[in-house]
């Protein structure tokens, strides 16, 4: 037998043995690809559902936040008569996205616990520029469409309250409520 005849005889054997291997490897690749695609789809479904589902209510603070929770409970228990700071803060800001053609004029009163913060008026006088700055920041980013909604006043009041209490020295000052008395859109 010559070398070429041996090669011809081996070649069909090689072809026969390698031919079934190619479809098996393709099937394996397709299976891996299908598993990866299904995994990605499952991940996407999970992310969409988790972002669209309503958020559960916050649970009571644990461990590190218990001291703050206790302070808040004490504040409510010791809460005296609320008092209004006699100086209203009136702000006029350009409404976002109006091209400086629309303005909002709002007046805010700050309510505090007179029993807990007897020097509130004097201390707040020093912090008034900070309060005005915070009010400017909160008001100036609101678009006209949202400002014309009456429910926005409450949200703005709550946001100012949170930001104000974050920035004020907690031992000296704490605002109990921010009351909106004037709300004029022009």
Q: Residue 62: its pLDDT value, please? A: 45
Q: How far apart are CA 16 and CA 10, in angstroms?
A: 10
Distance (Å, whole) CA 15 – CA 136: 80
Residues 98-146 have pLDDT tens digits of 777 888 898 999 998 888 888 888 888 898 898 899 888 888 888 877 8
H helices present in the chain, as ranges: 3-52, 66-78, 120-140, 144-147, 151-167
Task: Return the domain boundaries, the chain.
Answer: 1-56, 79-185
Q: Which long-range contacts (CB under 8 A, 24 or more apart) does 123-128 make?
A: 123/169, 123/172, 123/173, 124/85, 124/87, 124/173, 125/87, 127/168, 127/173, 128/87, 128/89
Higher per-residue confidence, 156 vs 56? 156
Which are the contacts of 113, defined by CB distance < 8 A and separation ≥ 6?
Answer: 75, 78, 79, 80, 81, 82, 83, 174, 176
pLDDT at 33: 93
110 touches 147 (CB < 8 A)? no
Tracing tokens 């400086």 back to the chain, one arrives at: 100
Mean pLDDT lowest for which of 1-10, 29-38, 90-99, 116-125? 1-10
Using the predicted structure, report yes or no on whether residue 85 has a pLDDT greater than 70: yes
pTM: 0.55
CATH fold label, 79-185: Tetrahydropterin Synthase; Chain A (3.30.479)
153-178 pLDDT, tens per residue?
888 889 999 999 898 887 778 888 98
């Amino acid at each position: 037998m010559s070398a070429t005849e041996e090669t011809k005889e081996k070649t069909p054997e090689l072809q026969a043995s390698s031919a079934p291997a190619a479809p098996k490897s393709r099937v394996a690749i397709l299976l891996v690809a299908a598993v990866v695609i299904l995994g990605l789809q499952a991940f996407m479904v999970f992310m969409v559902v988790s972002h669209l589902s309503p958020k559960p209510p916050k649970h009571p603070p644990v461990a590190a936040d218990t001291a703050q929770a206790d302070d808040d409970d004490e504040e409510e228990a010791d809460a005296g008569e609320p008092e209004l700071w006699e100086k209203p803060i009136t702000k006029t800001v350009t409404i976002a996205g109006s091209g400086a053609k629309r303005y909002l004029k709002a007046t805010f009163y700050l309510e505090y616990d007179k029993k807990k913060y007897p020097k509130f008026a004097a201390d707040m006088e020093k912090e008034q520029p900070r309060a005005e700055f915070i009010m400017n920041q909160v008001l100036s980013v609101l678009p006209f469409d949202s400002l014309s909604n009456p429910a926005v006043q409450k949200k703005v009041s709550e946001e100012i309250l949170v930001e104000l209490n974050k920035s004020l020295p907690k031992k000296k000052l704490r605002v109990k409520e921010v009351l909106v008395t004037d709300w004029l859109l022009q």
